[in-house]
Structures are given as structure tokens and as C-alpha cells.
């Protein structure tokens, strides 16, 4: 992979239906998809949230946790290996366990046989049908990592619903915001050819891309877990806020999309919202808010 900061990068969105609780099977299917994506010219393959384990895990979180910086990470060796052999980056979701036996809803990026980033989901939905905080510990930040000159930030599902997450990511330098997700399809409306939840997502993604002047890549899963179906519709949104590539709503599949960083350059020049962002003002206001909220 060449240095990409002035050109384009081919990403593969893998809209998968993980086998719940079966790490081994899911690793196998990831490998198949990575190989075929490479043949189609992909330089990076992006899988949905918890793509290696499934989403509504309940007590099986306990059985699936992997300590990524220990011998346990050997289970992911096939993914490390293929990323090296094919010179391809892989972003996939897994249950992470730390040395103190805390569990996280995490996403790794593996490239050239090496672990280059782990994002621990910060905002863990625990309302309605969701119970993530029952099992997972929240992550403590939104990082940006470098992939051959391209600055990437990973947000996981609910993270993106808090607009502060993408605000932090772009101000830290992210060019591309990758949002991996396991979003259940819910809500119908007469006259609308998609689920209500999908409509909200598409509006949100467009807002993030346009107002934070970045590429947004959304990788959402499909399939059913105990009657709950996931809505798919993985897509790439450019910094003009328009959907460039999009997958069908409730089907498995892969697409290769070109992310053109020249367009990002163009958009950021024409509408320099990020250049003009007043971080000091935001900091001052946040300090005021926090101080005023303190119990006196």
C-alpha cells in the first residue's frame, strides 16, 4: 500500500450475518471475504460491530472475551496472517477482555500482520432492547490512527449517536470516520421504503460527513438474533453529505468503494468549518458546564 494521503483508497464494506457465539466459524468467513475483497482491489476491509462474535451475546460474553495483548490473541492469528500475506487492513469487531477481567465491545484494525488500533466502544446503550452496560465496560476515548497517511477514527454504533464523538475524531485529525454497527431494524412508516431506524441513521451519517467534512463509512450487519433483525444498508458518504455507495438493506454482501481524498481536500478548502472551529471556546464552555453541574 502506497502513501494515500493525496489520492484514493479502495475500501470493502462487508455486510455480514455473524454466527452468534461461534468465533471459529466467523473467523473463517472473515478470511473468505478478505481474500475475495483483495481480488477485487480492496486495500481495507471493514466488518460490522462484534462481527467475530454476534451481538446479543448475554452471558456468553464471558465465554468469548479475548485478551488481545496476550497469548489468547493467537485465536486471531489467521486474520493477522492474511493481512500480512495480502497486504490488506482488516477492521473487525470482537469481545475484548483486559488483564483485570473487564470486557469491552471492541474493534481492532490489523494490518501487515500487526495490530495497529483497538477502539473500545464508549457509549454502551442500555435501554429498550439493549443491555450492553450490563456486560461491557465503556472505552475511554476516541482515537485516530494512521493507515499509510490516511487518518482514521473508528466509532461503534451508539458512539456515533453522540455527536461529540465525531467532533472529537475530526478535530483530532480524522479524514475517515468508520462507523461499525449492529443496528436492529425497527419502526415502519407509511410511504417510507426503509425502516425508521435506517432513516435516522442515514440522516445522522450525512450530517457527520457534511458538517465535520469527512468521509463516513458505515458498516452495519444483517441477519437475525432471537427475532431481532439487523438492517444492513452499509454505505459510504462523502464530505458533501451524499451517499456514494450503498448496500441493500437486509442482505449479506460486499461492495468495494473508492474513497477519494482529493474530494476531502476540495471540500475542506471550500467550506473550512474545521479550520474555523474554536476549540478553546468549546473547552471554556465545557468547563463552565461541568463546573455549574457540580453539586455545590
Quick one: which segment of 36-44, 54-62, 67-75, 166-174 binds another protein (CB under 8 A)?
Answer: 54-62
- The vertex-183 CA angle with 179 and 189, nearest 5°, equals 120
Q: Residue 107: how many CA atoms within 13 Å on its side-chain side?
A: 31
Chain centroid offset of residue 226 CA: 24
Collect all residues with Cβ–Cβ distance below 8 Å to 245 and sequence separation of at least 6: 13, 235, 236, 255, 257
Q: Which stretch binds another protein (CB under 8 A): 99-107, 182-190, 206-214, 269-277?
A: 182-190
Select from 156-164, 165-173, 192-200, 259-267 the region that touches another protein (CB under 8 A).
192-200
Closest to another protein by CB, 127 or 290: 127
Among 37-45, 71-79, 190-198, 200-208, which window interacts with another protein (CB under 8 A)?
Answer: 190-198
The CA-to-CA distance between both ends of the chain, in Å, stands at 56
Binders of another protein in range 57-76 (CB under 8 A)? 57-60
Query: What is the DSSP pairing of strand 114-120 with strand 103-111?
Result: antiparallel
Q: How many CB atoms lie within 10 A of CB 198?
A: 21
Spatial contact of 92 and 47, defined as CB atoms under 8 Å apart: yes
Among 49, 225, 254, 267, binds another protein (CB under 8 A): 225
Does residue 250 touch another protein according to CB under 8 A? yes
CB of 256 to another protein, least distance (A): 24
Q: Does 127 bind another protein (CB under 8 A)?
A: no
- Of residues 43 and 225, the one with the C-beta less far from another protein: 225
Among 144, 157, 185, 219, binds another protein (CB under 8 A): 185
> Of 74, 133, 192, 273, which lies in the binding site for another protein, with binding defined by CB under 8 A?
192
- Residue 16 binds another protein, judged by CB under 8 A: no
- Per CB under 8 A, the list member of 229, 240, 265, 268 interacting with another protein is 229
Smallest distance from the beta carbon of 58 to another protein, in angstroms? 4
Does the protein bind another protein through residue 156 (CB under 8 A)? no
Q: Judge residue 24's burial from the number of C-beta atoms within 10 Å of its C-beta, 0-12 exposed, 13-18 middle, 19 or more buried.
A: exposed
Judged by CB, which is closer to another protein: 158, or 225?
225
Applying CB under 8 A, the site for another protein has a residue count of 27
Question: Does residue number 137 form part of the binding site for another protein (CB under 8 A)?
Answer: no
The site for another protein (CB under 8 A) is made up of 17, 20-21, 56-60, 185, 187-195, 222-227, 229, 249-250
Amino acid at each position: 500500500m502506497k502513501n494515500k494521503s493525496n489520492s484514493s483508497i479502495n475500501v470493502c464494506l462487508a455486510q455480514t450475518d455473524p454466527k452468534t457465539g461461534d468465533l471459529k466459524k466467523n473467523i473463517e468467513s472473515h478470511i473468505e471475504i478478505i481474500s475475495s475483497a483483495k481480488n477485487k482491489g480492496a486495500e481495507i476491509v471493514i466488518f460490522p460491530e462484534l462481527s467475530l462474535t454476534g451481538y446479543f451475546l448475554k452471558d456468553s460474553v464471558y465465554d468469548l472475551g479475548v485478551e488481545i495483548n496476550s497469548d489468547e490473541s493467537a485465536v486471531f492469528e489467521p486474520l493477522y496472517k492474511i493481512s500480512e500475506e495480502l497486504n490488506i487492513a482488516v477492521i473487525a469487531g470482537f469481545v475484548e477482555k483486559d488483564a483485570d477481567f473487564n470486557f469491552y465491545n471492541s474493534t481492532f484494525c490489523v494490518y501487515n500482520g500487526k495490530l495497529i488500533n483497538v477502539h473500545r466502544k464508549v457509549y454502551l446503550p442500555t435501554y429498550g432492547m439493549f443491555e450492553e452496560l450490563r456486560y461491557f465496560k465503556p472505552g475511554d476515548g476516541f482515537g485516530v490512527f494512521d493507515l499509510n497517511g490516511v487518518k482514521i477514527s473508528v466509532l461503534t454504533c451508539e458512539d456515533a449517536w453522540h455527536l461529540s464523538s465525531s467532533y472529537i475524531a475530526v478535530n483530532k485529525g480524522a479524514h475517515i470516520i468508520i462507523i461499525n454497527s449492529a443496528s436492529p431494524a425497527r419502526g415502519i412508516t407509511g410511504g417510507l421504503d426503509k425502516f425508521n431506524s435506517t432513516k435516522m441513521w442515514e440522516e445522522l451519517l450525512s450530517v457527520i460527513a457534511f458538517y465535520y467534512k469527512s468521509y463516513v463509512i458505515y458498516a452495519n450487519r444483517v441477519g437475525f438474533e432471537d427475532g431481532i433483525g439487523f438492517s444492513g444498508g452499509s454505505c459510504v458518504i462523502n464530505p458533501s453529505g451524499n451517499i456514494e455507495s450503498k448496500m441493500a438493506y437486509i442482505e449479506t454482501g460486499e461492495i468495494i468503494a473508492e474513497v477519494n481524498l482529493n474530494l476531502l481536500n476540495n471540500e475542506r478548502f471550500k467550506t473550512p468549518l474545521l479550520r474555523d472551529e474554536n476549540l478553546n471556546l468549546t473547552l471554556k464552555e465545557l468547563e463552565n458546564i461541568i463546573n455549574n453541574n457540580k453539586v455545590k
